[in-house]
Amino acid sequence: MTATTDGSTGAVTPRAASASQPLDQAAATAPGPLDAATRAIQRSTAFLLAQQDAQGWWKGDLDTNVTMDAEDLLLRQFLGIRDEKTTRAAALFIRGEQREDGTWATFYGGPGELSTTIEAYVALRLAGDAPDDPHMAKASAWIRDQGGIAESRVFTRIWLALFGWWKWDDLPELPPELIYFPKWLPLNIYDFGCWARQTIVPLTVVSAKRPVRPAPFPLDELHCDARVPNPGKPLAPMGSWDGVFQRLDKALHLYHKVAPRKVRKAAMNSAARWIIERQENDGCWGGIQPPAVYSVIALHLLGYDLEHPVLKAGLASLDRFAVWREDGARVIEACQSPVWDTCLATIALADAGVPADHPQLVKAADWMLGEEIARPGDWSVRRPQLAPGGWAFEFHNDNYPDIDDTAEVILALRRVDHPDRPRMENAIARGVRWNLGMQSKNGAWAAFDADNTSPFPNRLPFCDFGEVIDPPSADVTGHVVEMLAIEGKAHDPRTRRGIEWLLAEQEPDGSWFGRWGVNYVYGTGSVVPALTAAGLPGSHPALRRAVDWLESVQNDDGGWGEDLRSYRYEEWRGHGVSTASQTAWALLALLAAGERDSKAVERGALWLAETQRDDGSWDEPYFTGTGFPWDFSINYHLYRQVFPLTALGRYVNGEPFAGLSAKGG
């Protein structure tokens, strides 16, 4: 790639129609969309370069929903450390997210959600809002209309049980003896996805201890009959899996009453050791907020005081999840994504024409190389002979490197001319080897573990919120296949198995399901570039079906959008308000399939150029990231910047690595 750099701003001017044509001549003769895209690239490049941290990384804010903020206040209340400043700032944010009907949603523009509304309501009660305040009365009336606390999810009722607002006997049982299950036994802790595993182990301690702290106020207004009822729901038939697990839960409740004290104490101590062994250097657990919250509670219940180094570091790490906004509001991030954001920003800038030896790209590559994980984690339980390598998602998460991040980091490093070539090549080689070793039996890749596909964890009555296993997905597999192709392994039998799996997973309408992004637009935008990088021609029937589907769901304004409701309702597939990130994903697929000169691509590129803000950024209130399909949604603030720049860069400059891999294969 060729480009010129303005030394005063760092802005990069990408080449236009061809490398041999002067920019001013190209701009004068280029069609409208190409000229508009070129100008948009210039503004976007300058904006993104200016967002880089001095250490070399990028990190955008990560929005989820108000349960993070509500549970943070409940944790502080439980530990006796809630202060007025934090409470006031959290309440300011929570109130601002309430909808006209009195509810809170889990994503922008989404419907009111019962458990989220209950937790937000309780948090505002902690902040001093009175039940008869108009906004509170509206919320409680809606909650009662939906069935009250009894109809909320298990995690919400656990939080309420901590203060006596719900009965522990009316919650599913989660025994700490689970820690002793061998890895070959169903429902051992390694049958759960890493995020669920890190949450469930501490919750076994909480479930065994069943603590109740004095409630600061009653919550009668959230019960349909003004008292805490026993749900008493009928059991499913004995011949069904649901019926089996419901009866197993009843047996575990009986066991709770007769569990040998020595066995239970030993199990809780083993759980504590497991938790402490997995605490990261920054005090957090897994780089995500929920396991940190429950780990702190569990260890505190086992006698660790708040000044103990483990708890002190854990509480300090939770403070680092807080974002203080200019209006005085305090917002809790469920996670932080610097590795993911940095590799995506590097790819975007390189594909937009920033030189491979640009100092900021070199600094980004240097930072990513420093984040390589060099020790085994939980993944090695299923792959004990595999040498460590790869990258995680967060600042500190050495126990759980991410297969998706590793693939994208390698793709980013390949775009940078790093001065220490041997260091970079060795890191890439270790990452490629680790990714290949994490391939599941079916030929595909998941996010964190291999073959994490047990059908049993999702059946537990306890697991009524989001995914608790980590099966392979099309988007992750697409990213790994693309990386392997660039690394000269397109014809490796393991890559071919991944390609075969992707082709078999294509939906009848031509799209692919998106596990970690919303949704079919994301899945399709991830898979098509992978298949073409691996050598499939744009004329391949699977790619033609994908192109036809994308063109069929393009919005009238030229952009693409997909609402999170597509995870639940068929009619939302590929449909929603146009967004910058989803428009970019569609363009990445169409460009990879050879559709650069199509009307659909021109309209999409124009939409991105015309909706760009004056500072070179894009606005995107809609949630296009996925934690758990439908149940937990994410707005990655950097998605709206990196993906449009990548798509426009490829539109103007052509596909990266076109026709050959980085290894020349």
pLDDT (0 to 100) of residue 14: 38
Token pair of 346, please?
A: 């590097």
Q: Please name each of the domains of the chain with its CATH number.
A: 3-62+335-458+474-653 (1.50.10.20), 65-332 (1.50.10.20)
Tell me the mean pLDDT in the region 204-230. Answer: 85
Please say if the pLDDT value at position 8 is more than 80. no
Tell me the mean pLDDT in the region 511-515. Answer: 98
Tell me the mean pLDDT in the region 396-404. Answer: 93
Please say if the pLDDT value at position 190 is more than 50. yes
pLDDT (0 to 100) of residue 231: 52
Q: Which long-range contacts (CB under 8 A, 24 or more apart) does 109-116 make?
A: 109/563, 109/577, 109/621, 109/622, 110/564, 110/565, 110/623, 110/633, 112/142, 113/65, 114/143, 114/146, 114/147, 114/151, 114/152, 115/67, 115/152, 115/153, 115/155, 115/156, 115/465, 116/65, 116/66, 116/67
Mean residue pLDDT of the chain comes to 92
CB 37 within 8 A of CB 652: yes
CA 246/CA 382 separation, integer angstroms: 29
Alpha carbon of residue 398 to chain centroid: 17
pLDDT (0 to 100) of residue 464: 81
Percent of the chain with pLDDT over 90: 85
CB 554 within 8 A of CB 600: yes
Please say if the pLDDT value at position 10 is more than 50. no
| Sheet hosting strand 632-636, strand order edge to edge | 62-63, 632-636, 625-628
Q: How confident is the model at residue 224 (pLDDT cuts 50, 70, 90)?
A: confident
CB 483 within 8 A of CB 410: yes
CA 162/CA 315 separation, integer angstroms: 19
Map tokens 């299950």 to a residue. Answer: 181
Please say if the pLDDT value at position 564 is more than 70. yes
Q: What digits encode the pLDDT tens for the residues 601-640?
A: 999 999 999 999 999 999 999 999 999 999 999 999 999 9
CA 28/CA 278 separation, integer angstroms: 59
Q: What digits encode the pLDDT tens for the residues 340-384?
A: 999 999 999 999 999 999 999 999 999 999 999 999 999 999 999
CB 58 within 8 A of CB 52: yes
pTM of the model: 0.92
- 568 by Cβ neighbours in 10 Å (0-12 / 13-18 / 19+) ranks as exposed
Contacts of 162 (CB under 8 A, 6+ apart): 74, 78, 211, 212, 213, 297
Please say if the pLDDT value at position 597 is more than 70. yes
Q: What digits encode the pLDDT tens for the residues 426-450?
A: 999 999 999 999 999 999 999 999 9
pLDDT (0 to 100) of residue 134: 97
pLDDT (0 to 100) of residue 241: 72
CB 602 within 8 A of CB 630: no
Token pair of 277, please?
A: 């062994």
Q: Which residues are catalytic?
A: 404
Please say if the pLDDT value at position 4 is more than 60. no
CA 212/CA 241 separation, integer angstroms: 32
pLDDT (0 to 100) of residue 520: 98
What does the H/E/C string look like for 277-307?
Answer: HCECCCCCECCEHHHHHHHHHHHHHCCCCCC
Please say if the pLDDT value at position 23 is more than 70. no
Q: What digits encode the pLDDT tens for the residues 132-170?
A: 999 999 999 999 999 999 999 999 999 999 999 999 999
Query: Phi and psi of 447, rounded to 5°?
Result: -85, -40
Contacts of 665 (CB under 8 A, 6+ apart): 488, 489, 490, 491
Q: What digits encode the pLDDT tens for the residues 264-283?
A: 999 999 999 999 999 999 99
Of 238-242, 380-384, 555-559, 561-565, the poorest mean pLDDT is in 238-242
Please say if the pLDDT value at position 524 is more than 80. yes
Q: How confident is the model at residue 225 (pLDDT cuts 50, 70, 90)?
A: low
Tell me the mean pLDDT in the region 517-544. Answer: 97
pLDDT (0 to 100) of residue 251: 86
pLDDT (0 to 100) of residue 19: 34
Q: How confident is the model at residue 31 (pLDDT cuts 50, 70, 90)?
A: low
Q: How confident is the model at residue 236 (pLDDT cuts 50, 70, 90)?
A: confident
Q: How confident is the model at residue 661 (pLDDT cuts 50, 70, 90)?
A: very low
Q: How confident is the model at residue 240 (pLDDT cuts 50, 70, 90)?
A: confident
Q: Which residue(s) pair with 14 in the sheet?
A: 3
